[in-house]
Copies of this chain bind each other. A is one copy, B any other.
Amino acid sequence: MPALAIHALAIHGGAGTIPVAGLDGETADAFHAGLGAALRAGWLVLCGGGTALDAVTEAVKVLEDDPLFNAGHGAVFTTAETMEMDAAIMRGSDHAAGAVAGICGPRHPVEAARLIMERSGHVFMAGAGAEAYLRDAGLEFMPPEYFATAWRREALHQELARRASGAADTRSDADRHGTVGAVARDASGSLAAATSTGGYTAKRPGRIGDAPVIGAGTYADDASCAVSTTGNGEVFIRFTAAAEIAARIRLAGQSLERAAADVIAALANHGGDGGLVAVPAEGPPVLVFNTSGMYRGFVADGMVCTAIHQEPYRRTRL
């Protein structure tokens, strides 16, 4: 477990992961490097006296830029071979929140969510209306081909062929979902959470997952915790997973560790496979999952700690 610190930062790059047997060393190194870069970006903000909100924004932007992760560049495709991205961000001090769903255009969907939070007067926007607003507001846009990657397209074609053939679904967690997220606590004790995703390969156009649903995939409340989840989004929505963890801390006096573990276990009973990262008002981050792995990491004692499956955390100097 990470040591106590004033600053805290944890991230995830999705649960599931490529199965242990199918993950070669070079690919694993690339995932660790991607997670490490995101942690360093977020930690730099916190060490410079920046806010938790800025830290999670910067960490998630790095993961959105990295095609290994299913968010921004590298997002998965819908059945219509389009990309529809969801993201949310929330600040724990005042419950300010922004979320966006079903967009393809903003280079960093997390910045789209933040712009909606800070400037729109709304909390949640979707689709063409959201894209038009964000473009008018001057957010950085990229063409669809920027987001597209050959291996995500191949994954779509394989899945469509499987469905057409009637074959059983033997995809790993990694094929069925993927998300990135970050949680942080800054020197003022304020918390923040952010989540960003392309959804899952061959989702229906129009489908919204839990990432942009405040209280399901993303939540922050200084009195309890900040949470970003990843997994089978439908189940996380139905059980308001992130807000439930905060409620157990605030109303039932549970520790973050216990609340997070219990909620992830309860979700599993309803088919909700996945995981989450969270930071409490005081104490170290918590990273839990009920899948075979979760791309994840945190910073502790000057070390960047990253892991994929159940192996010990790989530790590298900041």
Which residues of A line the B interface, CB within 8 A?
78, 80, 84, 90, 95-97, 101-102, 120-133, 203-209, 213-216, 219, 233-234, 237-240, 243-244, 247-248, 251-252, 270
Does the CB pair A204–B122 fall under 8 Å? yes
Q: 26 A-B contacts, Cβ less than 8 Å apart?
A: A78-B129, A80-B129, A84-B129, A95-B238, A95-B270, A97-B237, A102-B127, A120-B207, A121-B234, A122-B208, A123-B234, A123-B237, A124-B207, A124-B209, A127-B128, A128-B128, A129-B206, A129-B207, A130-B206, A132-B205, A213-B214, A214-B216, A215-B237, A240-B240, A243-B243, A244-B247
Please give, as numbers and ranges, the residues of chain B lying within 8 Å of A120 by CB-CB distance.
204, 207
Chain A interface mostly: mixed
- Which residue in chain B gives the minimum CB-CB distance to A125? B206
Q: How far is the CB of A109 from chain B (nearest CB, A)?
A: 14
Report which of B80, B95, B126, B216 forms a contact with A208, defined as CB distance below 8 A.
Answer: B126
Say how many copies of this protein the assembly contains. Answer: 2
- Which residue in chain B gives the minimum CB-CB distance to A240? B215
- Which residue in chain B gives the minimum CB-CB distance to A221? B239
- Which residue in chain B gives the minimum CB-CB distance to A97? B238
